[in-house]
Amino acid sequence: MYQRIHAIKRGVVVFMGLASLSWVPARAEEPLVVFEGKEGPGQGRHIVFVTGDEEYRCEESMPQLARILAVHHGFKCTVLFAVNKETGEIDPITVDNIPGLEALQTANLMVIFTRFRELPDEQMKYIIDYTDSGKPILGLRTATHAFRYEKHKDSPYAKYSFQDKEFEGGYGRNVLGETWINHYGVHQKESTRGIVAKGREKHPIVKGVADIWGPSDVYAITTLSGDSQPLILGQVLRGMNPADEPNPEKQLVPVAWTKTYTGGQGKTARVFTTTMGHGDDLKNEGFRRLLVNACYWCLGMEERIPDKSKVDFVGKYEPNSIGTNNHKKGVKPADHRLDKKEPKQEEE
């Protein structure tokens, strides 16, 4: 009887202990998403995506590109987002918060797709430290005008603003090759056909790449800075379909190029930039393959680029249409995990 009573007591204690565990607050969700690489040449390499653009749905396209690189090629991919400080939701309208940038300390490649960000110094420091490290950089679309300092012009990072006069053209022109000029193709009326530049047909980045097209309009450029070498030229089409005729009044303009950048540490980095990047551009197989190959090249892995890189979508890719404040609402970084069926979305 004595033993039975004590056994019951022990059972109550164990039950109460387990019950108390259920009340332990869950660990807060991280403001980023990580895709661990599976088998492939990218094993052991870490790619960090820095996103935050109000218009072109990079908060959807870059997680999909990261999934492709992780699942099909073996890279570890970390995706960072503009996050609302109060809700923890992905919010491209929040221009002063991209948490998790310390991930760049272990990155082998930074992919940047931001627009007019004004980050606090403690966050911006991670981006510039990486930029100066000599490690490679891949920039998309609005990364040519990645930063715009309006409230904190006394910041040591204000010179990276896209129109800065001291650091002519800011981050875009100095690091990536060009800053924001204007729309050359008519926005949302003239699309882009990508054509490999003459003499660059054997460059490893265009290996297996064909039929590049996207609804993004061609961005204007002045002259590309530094040692930039055009790789893909954008042909302005009269409409928003790949079969539309070219606009004969508009010449070919570089929409993707390679270059190098030597930062404050005196180390030279490989850089790939494309001014394409409309959310629906990623639906084009040729464009996806261009980006995947560019990641290999940036990392000095061009000899490992397959004859035709696998770029099949991983999960659904159904981005919202472009436009300011047209992003999916109620989505948190964790909703992009591979074990989630699909990102949730609140009713409008």
The DSSP result for 240-285, as a single string, is SSTTSPB-TTS--EEEEEEEEEE-TTS-EEEEEEES---GGGGGSH
pLDDT at residue number 7: 43
pLDDT at residue number 34: 97
Residue 50 domain-assigned (yes or no): yes
If one counts the domains in the chain, the total is 1
pLDDT at residue number 167: 83
Range of the domain at 96: 30-181+255-336
For the chain, where are the alpha helices, taking DSSP H only?
2-21, 58-73, 121-131, 170-171, 285-298
pLDDT at residue number 342: 54
Residue 214 domain-assigned (yes or no): no
Residue 248 domain-assigned (yes or no): no
pLDDT at residue number 338: 86
Q: How far, in Å, CA of 265 to CA of 272, rounded?
A: 20
Residue 172 domain-assigned (yes or no): yes
- In the predicted model, residues of the chain with pLDDT beneath 70 are 1-28, 341-348
Residue 160 domain-assigned (yes or no): yes
Q: Which residues pair with 34 in a beta bridge?
A: 78
Residue 21 domain-assigned (yes or no): no
Of the candidates 108, 125, 112, the one whose C-alpha atom is nearest the C-alpha of residue 81 is 112
Q: How far, in Å, CA of 37 to CA of 45, rounded?
A: 9
Q: How far, in Å, CA of 167 to CA of 161, rounded?
A: 8
145: domain CATH number is 3.40.50
* Residue 238 and residue 205 in contact, taking contact as beta carbons nearer than 8 Å: no
pLDDT at residue number 133: 97
Q: How far, in Å, CA of 259 to CA of 293, rounded?
A: 15
Instruction: Give the pLDDT confidence of 253-277 residue by residue, as tens digits.
Output: 999 999 999 998 999 999 999 999 9
For the packed helices 58-73 and 285-298, what is the interaxial angle rounded to 10 degrees?
70
Residue 307 domain-assigned (yes or no): yes
pLDDT at residue number 11: 43
pLDDT at residue number 341: 61
Residue 158 domain-assigned (yes or no): yes
